[in-house]
């Protein structure tokens, strides 16, 4: 199971960023691997494969033996308690994931105290390619910023009526499930585990947080199948987590209650946890979405989220398990007529009072923004509101609101900006890049940044964008998001455009130089491009209800979902000030509360999130709001037109074996252009009809 196997589909899965050619620099060399432990076997198999393919040689050394004249040595440090040879099942126990890289005149040694660290070191060398051997002499230590680097899958076992096989999935079916069962052939899971391990991901939750009847049973009679999935991930240092239903003691256990303070309920959960760990000793823990969007939770019993989370925490504590408890809790039956209720406040209002009450092994998992993964939101104030609670940052790799992997949108820069947001030192926060520029920094995010707050706390979690699609992610370029997420978990200070460059270099190792340039041209600023042609100035949504693809300005305006823009003939935006609005701005520490409170100091890109202003309001950019709407929507489409032209030119430089990928990208860009045009025309028409203000440039608005 250590070597990747191809899918049983007729078209083999695309190798993503790990094609054989990406291993050429290592594979050409004399490589020695030394040490025991399950993951050392994984590394050895990788090296054996690479050297066989590229003409190098591979030696497996016994512990304690000399390294000879190898060009590259991958070795467990021998003065440490590395996992012994008979300890294969628990390779993940070692918490030290760091590695050292020593380069001396082209000879490279990678050392780690743990087999996981050694695996990460191996992929580090692969990523460096020739530079690993030709760079200046060095001694470097690499360690992840956080030990918790996780992906959540919203995969359903049974196809859900509305949400399908994968909730918010835009990459075909599930790699885990098909036909209502866990797949018999898990070879795609093994390939996926390898891809994730190469970026540094070490935990995966394998089922949807909306736990339906079939999925709930993974916890009980589905355990043998979960164990098979865990076995597919294990050689890559990845632990498996399950999303569970808070009502499981009733629905699965037949108890009359799921009250978290009921002794029978506590016993049921303890027994359930004992059974899981007995079967899967390196199991990670449970993920829970409770009392949100119809999921059951502790509220039914007059208990709060701390009661609920601590119930489960006690059950998994003997096994060093974790509870990821989502903070995505709000009133989804809001009355749009009532402007005092604010969904943006909900997570804060629900969780801030509970700070200090959660058990040590509970992680409160907080979406990056207060709403729901919009292309632009302020940073959730909850991330800074729970100093005595372990908090994880939740991102969304799957592009629910950002083009659904039909649009080329590289999110690495968005996530980088989120991670660098400094709650206390507002002025020091890197400014939002102007369209056309790129973020680039190697300054580690400070302790009061988002990255700093979660690093030694709950780490990072994101919703995966991978499925059984030939290219894993629908849009081949969406692979870059999966890659960048993993790399940013390891190093939140990494330059996101640099990470994109890594992905390009590994994924297209044989392509002409112009290809990399073209992909950068398309993706570097694609996040802002998407923002340009969709909802303006941070107001969010304006998508088709339900599936969330394509424009519908009023789609959610008169619904119970709490996602409004309040546009009328005079102006637009949500007043979230303390002075006259919902008070959301006051949930931030200074200086942000003051910055957001005033329309004069609020950043343009969040203006309509915090303020209701006239269309004639003049932005810092010097434009009126209405002219900004027109200009950005025209510009967004023009940019996508350039994407199409750029790719059309570049794809001719791709090798023949990339023809299917090239065609897929072309198809998706065609759809992106159609959709962006739709966004432009609907948004501009909507606001022209409503405001009556003509475009100063006299362009066509219908």
Angle separating helix axes 412-420 and 479-490, nearest 10 degrees = 20
Q: Which is nearer to a second copy, 642 or 689 (CB)?
A: 689
**Considering the complex, what minimum distance in angstroms separates the CB of residue 568 from a second copy?**
4
Task: Report the distance separating Cα 337 and Cα 462, nearest Å.
Answer: 34
Q: Which is nearer to a second copy, 545 or 589 (CB)?
A: 545
Q: Which is nearer to a second copy, 419 or 701 (CB)?
A: 701
Strands 613-614, 72-76: parallel, antiparallel or unpaired by DSSP? unpaired
Q: Which is nearer to a second copy, 30 or 339 (CB)?
A: 339
Please indicate whether residue 531 is annotated as part of the active site. Answer: no
Q: Which is nearer to a second copy, 438 or 677 (CB)?
A: 677
**Considering the complex, what minimum distance in angstroms separates the CB of residue 554 from a second copy?**
4
Annotate 459-476 with three-state secondary structure. Answer: CEEEECCCCCCCCCCCCH
Residue 483 tokens, joined: 């890659």
Please indicate whether residue 293 is annotated as part of the active site. Answer: yes
Nearest 5°: the CA angle 272, 273, 278 is: 105
Partner residues linked to 178 by β-bridges = 181
Interacting residues toward a second copy by CB under 8 A: 336-337, 551-555, 558, 567-570, 678, 681-682, 685-686, 688-692, 702
Task: Report the distance separating Cα 602 and Cα 599, nearest Å.
Answer: 5
Partner residues linked to 613 by β-bridges = 572
**Considering the complex, what minimum distance in angstroms separates the CB of residue 668 from a second copy?**
21
Q: Which residues contact 161 (CB under 8 A, 6 or more apart)?
A: none
Task: Report the distance separating Cα 481 and Cα 594, nearest Å.
Answer: 34
Q: Which is nearer to a second copy, 578 or 693 (CB)?
A: 693
**Considering the complex, what minimum distance in angstroms separates the CB of residue 633 from a second copy?**
14
Residue pair 284/239 in contact (Cβ under 8 Å)? The answer is yes
Task: Report the distance separating Cα 438 and Cα 420, nearest Å.
Answer: 14
**Considering the complex, what minimum distance in angstroms separates the CB of residue 599 from a second copy?**
21
Q: Which residues contact 337 (CB under 8 A, 6 or more apart)?
A: none
**Considering the complex, what minimum distance in angstroms separates the CB of residue 207 from a second copy?**
23
Residue 308 tokens, joined: 């609920």
Q: Which is nearer to a second copy, 387 or 546 (CB)?
A: 546
Residue 404 tokens, joined: 């659904």
Residue pair 52/1 in contact (Cβ under 8 Å)? The answer is no
Q: Of the residues 9, 78, 130, 293, which is catalytic?
A: 293
Residue 259 tokens, joined: 């009250």
Q: Of the residues 215, 259, 342, 372, which is catalytic?
A: 372
Annotate 256-275 with three-state secondary structure. Answer: CCCCCCCHHHHHHHHHHHHH
Residue pair 457/434 in contact (Cβ under 8 Å)? The answer is no
Comparing CA positions, the residue from 95, 96, 90, 61 lying closest to residue 75 is: 61
Q: Of the residues 282, 317, 394, 400, which is catalytic?
A: 400
Residues making up the chain, counted from first to last: 702
**Considering the complex, what minimum distance in angstroms separates the CB of residue 544 from a second copy?**
8
Please indicate whether residue 681 is annotated as part of the active site. Answer: no
Residue pair 319/270 in contact (Cβ under 8 Å)? The answer is no
**Considering the complex, what minimum distance in angstroms separates the CB of residue 357 from a second copy?**
38
Residue 222 tokens, joined: 């589905």
Angle separating helix axes 513-523 and 625-650, nearest 10 degrees = 160
Task: Report the distance separating Cα 152 and Cα 464, nearest Å.
Answer: 6
**Considering the complex, what minimum distance in angstroms separates the CB of residue 605 from a second copy?**
25
**Considering the complex, what minimum distance in angstroms separates the CB of residue 682 from a second copy?**
5
Which helix or strand (DSSP H or E) is residue 93 part of? Answer: none
Number of H helices, E strands in the chain: 21, 20
Q: 548 in helix, strand or coil? A: coil
Catalytic residues: 293, 372, 400
């Amino acid at each position: 199971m250590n070597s990747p196997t191809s899918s049983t589909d007729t078209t083999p899965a695309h190798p993503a960023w790990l094609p054989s050619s990406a291993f050429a620099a290592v594979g050409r060399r004399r490589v020695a691997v030394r040490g025991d432990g399950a993951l050392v076997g994984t590394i050895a198999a990788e090296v054996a494969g690479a050297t066989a393919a590229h003409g190098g040689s591979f030696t497996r050394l016994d512990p304690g033996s000399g390294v000879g004249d190898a060009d590259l040595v991958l070795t467990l440090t021998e003065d440490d308690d590395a996992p012994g040879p008979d300890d294969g099942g628990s390779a993940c126990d070692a918490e030290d994931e760091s590695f050292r890289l020593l380069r001396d005149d082209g000879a490279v040694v990678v050392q780690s105290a743990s087999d996981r660290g050694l695996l990460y070191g191996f992929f580090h060398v692969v990523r460096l390619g020739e530079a690993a051997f030709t760079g200046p002499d060095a001694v470097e230590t690499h360690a992840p910023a956080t030990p918790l680097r996780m992906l959540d899958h919203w995969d359903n076992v049974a196809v859900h009526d509305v949400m399908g096989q994968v909730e918010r999935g835009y990459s075909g079916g599930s790699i885990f499930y098909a036909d209502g069962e866990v797949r018999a052939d898990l070879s795609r899971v093994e390939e996926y585990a390898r891809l994730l391990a190469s970026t540094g991901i070490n935990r995966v939750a394998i089922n949807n947080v909306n736990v339906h009847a079939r999925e709930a049973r993974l916890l009980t009679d589905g355990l043998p199948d979960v164990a098979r999935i865990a076995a597919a991930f294990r050689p890559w240092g990845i632990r498996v987590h399950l999303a569970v239903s808070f009502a499981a003691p009733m629905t699965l256990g037949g108890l009359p209650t799921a009250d978290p303070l009921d002794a029978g309920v506590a016993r049921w959960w303890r027994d359930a946890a004992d059974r899981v760990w007995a079967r899967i000793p390196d199991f990670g823990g449970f993920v829970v979405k409770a009392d949100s969007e119809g999921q059951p939770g502790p509220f039914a019993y007059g208990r709060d989220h701390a009661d609920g989370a601590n119930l489960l925490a006690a059950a998994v504590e003997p096994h060093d398990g974790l509870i990821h408890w989502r903070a995505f809790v709000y009133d989804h039956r809001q009355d749009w007529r009532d402007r005092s209720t604010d969904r943006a406040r909900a997570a804060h209002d629900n969780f801030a009072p509970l700070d200090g009450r959660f058990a040590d092994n509970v992680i409160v998992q907080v979406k990056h923004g207060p709403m729901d993964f919009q292309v632009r939101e302020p940073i959730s104030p909850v991330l800074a509101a729970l100093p005595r609670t372990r908090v994880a940052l939740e991102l969304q790799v799957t592009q629910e609101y950002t083009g659904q992997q039909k649009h080329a949108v590289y999110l690495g820069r968005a996530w980088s900006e989120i991670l660098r947001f400094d709650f206390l030192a507002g002025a020091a926060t890197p400014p939002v890049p102007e369209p056309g520029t790129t973020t680039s920094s190697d300054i580690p995010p400070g302790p009061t940044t988002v990255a700093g707050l979660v690093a030694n706390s709950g780490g990072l979690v994101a919703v995966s964008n991978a499925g059984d699609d030939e290219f894993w992610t629908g849009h081949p370029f969406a692979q870059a998001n999966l890659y960048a997420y993993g790399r940013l978990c390891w190093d939140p200070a990494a330059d996101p455009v640099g990470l994109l460059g890594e992905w390009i270099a590994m994924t297209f190792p044989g392509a002409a130089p112009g290809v990399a340039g073209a992909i950068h041209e398309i993706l570097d600023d694609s996040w802002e491009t998407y923002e340009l042609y969709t909802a303006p100035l941070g107001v969010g949504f304006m998508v088709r209800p339900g599936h969330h693809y394509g424009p519908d300005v009023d789609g959610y305006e008169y619904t119970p979902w709490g996602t409004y823009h309040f546009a009328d003939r005079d102006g637009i935006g949500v007043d979230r000030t303390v002075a006259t609005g919902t008070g959301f701005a006051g949930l931030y520490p200074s200086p942000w509360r003051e910055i957001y409170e005033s329309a004069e100091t609020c950043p343009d890109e969040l203006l309509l999130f915090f303020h209701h202003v006239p269309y004639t309001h003049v932005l810092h950019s010097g434009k009126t709001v209405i002219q900004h709407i027109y200009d950005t929507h025209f510009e967004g489409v023009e940019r996508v037109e350039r994407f199409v032209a750029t790719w059309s030119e570049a794809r001719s430089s791709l090798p023949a074996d990339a023809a299917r990928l090239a065609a897929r990208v072309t198809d998706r860009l065609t759809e992106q252009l159609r959709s962006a045009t739709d966004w432009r025309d609907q948004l501009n028409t909507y606001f022209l009809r409503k405001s009556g203000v003509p475009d100063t440039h006299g362009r066509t608005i219908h």
